[in-house]
Amino acid sequence: MIREFGRDPCVNLQYLANHYGHISKTPGPLGYYLLNNPDYIEYVLKVNYKNYIKTDLAYQGIRAVLGNNLLTNPDYDSWLLERKLLQPLFHHHHLSQYAAFIIEQTQLLCQRWHILAAQQQAINLMPEMFNLLFNILTKTIFCGNFTEYASDFLDFIDLGNSYIGKALFLYSWLPTPHTIRFKKAKKNTHQIIANLLEERRQQSNKQTNVDLISVLINAQQHTGSVLSNEYLIDEIKTFIVTGTETTGTALAWLWYCLATNPDANDSLQQELIKSLGGKIPNTMDLEKLTYTKMVFEETLRLYPPLWLISRRSLAEDHLGNYAVPAKKTIVISPYVIQRHPEYWQAPNHFNPLNFSEENKKNRIKYTYLPFGLGPRTCIGSVFATFEAQLIIPIIAQQFDFKLLADKPIELAPLITLRPKGGIWMKLKSRKL
């Protein structure tokens, strides 16, 4: 079963959900329980979450790439201390400070794209969005210019995605060329972050901005050996990887959805003309861009970067009438439940109106989980949505996209739900 899962996990999970209902169990020593009932999902992730922790095989694969950090920490109490330490960086009052950097970097991207459009050059949206999100993230959450290291980290992200699969299926010990390249990239990014930490410590008296690095260094100085240098490196690496990978992947899928759904694209353009009239949006404009936000939310429904959530039961428990033994893997797939016909009309169709106020009121709770659920909901969810709400109108007002592929793009479920082979587009500059 695990080999079948590895070949096409999204198809196999959908098969289980459609044929075996709200809860199903796969056989064998590596078998897992798949949940498709929102009540069961709420119970595992929000109600009795302390009994379901991140120690299963999937998180071992992620730990092999990213180490021990806020994402992978299985211990609730120490995780909570980390969360409280870092949460202030993502509070709403910080977002307005980040807006100028988001707008600046997106405009720089558009300037380069206009040149490529004039030359009729095709682009792959995956590296384009990754570079954009990397530059935004390092200038906001990290208050620095990491541009010279972009290729190092983006190479590490690509290699790490494939390596997780090898770690999951216990092949990572083989000294293949890919494994050797990954370990070299991991060592390289580790050293880059270590050097940045040392530079920042030496400049601590001159640092006035509060960012993730300064928060971690300050916490380390006040807690002594509780926060090791290795922990700081892993935490910084994780924020760079996840902050780039998740939103970057989502935005690449978004342009794909708009290019293949012209009615939705027309509705978006109508809103942008009415609300912005060609100007660059600011934070005050966002509340008017309701359809823009719906486009992003609908993209996250069909192509959630966080496509799989897994936990391991500590003690025996019950989900409804079903007994769940201790030490069993529980799987929840946002990809599956967000396309389940029991909860969504025309579930595979791109329809941003799924997120109109009326439809949101009528939706069954816990059937939309793009950022997870419960205490361990993604810490960057508000920041990611804010980024997207600024990036989308800036780009959409300046470009039309034409998909080069003549057939639907296949899924590549890795750390995130990537498009297999990327998303290749031709750009056409719009007249403002």
How many residues are listed for the chain in this entry? Answer: 432
Q: Is 212 exposed, middle or buried (0-12, 13-18, 19+ CB in 10 A)?
A: buried
Distance in angstroms (rounded) separating the CA atoms of residues 16 and 18: 6
H or E element that contains 14? helix 9-20
> Looking at residue 393, what is its pLDDT?
98
In the chain, the amino acid numbered 202 is Q
Q: In the 3-class helix/strand/coil scheme, how is 139-164 assigned residue by residue?
A: HHCCCCCCHHHHHHHHHHHHHHHHHH
232 within a domain of the structure (yes/no): no
pLDDT at residue 335 above 90? yes
> Looking at residue 174, what is its pLDDT?
67
pLDDT per residue as tens digits for the range 17-29: 989 889 999 887 7
Average pLDDT value for the chain:
89
203 within a domain of the structure (yes/no): no
pLDDT at residue 363 above 90? yes
Provide the CATH number for the domain around residue 348.
1.10.630.10
14 within a domain of the structure (yes/no): yes
H or E element that contains 399? strand 399-403
> Looking at residue 172, what is its pLDDT?
55
pLDDT band at residue 231 using 50, 70 and 90 as cut-offs: confident
222 within a domain of the structure (yes/no): no
For the ranges 27-31, 353-357, 414-418, the one whose mean pLDDT is highest: 353-357
Compute the radius of gyration of the chain from its Cα atoms: 22
Q: Is 266 exposed, middle or buried (0-12, 13-18, 19+ CB in 10 A)?
A: exposed
Mean pLDDT of 347-364: 96
Q: In the 3-class helix/strand/coil scheme, how is 338-355 assigned residue by residue?
A: CCCCCCCCCCCCCCHHHH
Higher pLDDT, 140 or 221: 140
H or E element that contains 331? strand 329-332
Distance in angstroms (rounded) separating the CA atoms of residues 113 and 107: 10
117 within a domain of the structure (yes/no): yes
Domain containing residue 27: 2-147+161-168+245-427
- DSSP class of residue 43? I
176 within a domain of the structure (yes/no): no
pLDDT band at residue 57 using 50, 70 and 90 as cut-offs: low
- DSSP class of residue 56? S
Mean pLDDT of 212-239: 79
34 within a domain of the structure (yes/no): yes
> Looking at residue 432, what is its pLDDT?
67
> Looking at residue 184, what is its pLDDT?
93
Instruction: Find the distance separating the first CA and the last CA of the chain, reported in whole Å.
Output: 53
Distance in angstroms (rounded) separating the CA atoms of residues 349 and 302: 8
Distance in angstroms (rounded) separating the CA atoms of residues 33 and 362: 28
pLDDT at residue 389 above 90? yes
Q: Strand 32-35 and strand 23-25: pairing?
A: antiparallel
SS3 assignment, position 243:
helix
Cα–Cα distances in Å, from 296 out to 135, 209, 291, 400? Answer: 20, 30, 9, 17
pLDDT band at residue 338 using 50, 70 and 90 as cut-offs: very high
> Looking at residue 92, what is its pLDDT?
78
Mean pLDDT of 237-252: 94
pLDDT per residue as tens digits for the range 272-326: 999 999 999 999 999 999 999 999 999 999 999 999 999 999 999 999 999 999 9
Mean pLDDT of 139-165: 83
Mean pLDDT of 365-382: 95
H or E element that contains 426? strand 424-429
pLDDT band at residue 97 using 50, 70 and 90 as cut-offs: confident
Distance in angstroms (rounded) separating the CA atoms of residues 101 and 390: 11
- Residue 341, both tokens: 């016909």
Residue with tokens 């690449």: 252
pLDDT per residue as tens digits for the range 160-181: 887 776 655 555 566 778 788 9
- Residue 251, both tokens: 């935005």
154 within a domain of the structure (yes/no): no
In the chain, the amino acid numbered 117 is A
How many domains are there within the chain? 1
> Looking at residue 269, what is its pLDDT?
97
Mean pLDDT of 221-237: 77
pLDDT at residue 1 above 50? no
> Looking at residue 3, what is its pLDDT?
44
Residues sharing a CB contact under 8 Å with residue 356, sequence separation 6 or more, in sequence order: 294
pLDDT at residue 2 above 50? no
pLDDT band at residue 66 using 50, 70 and 90 as cut-offs: confident
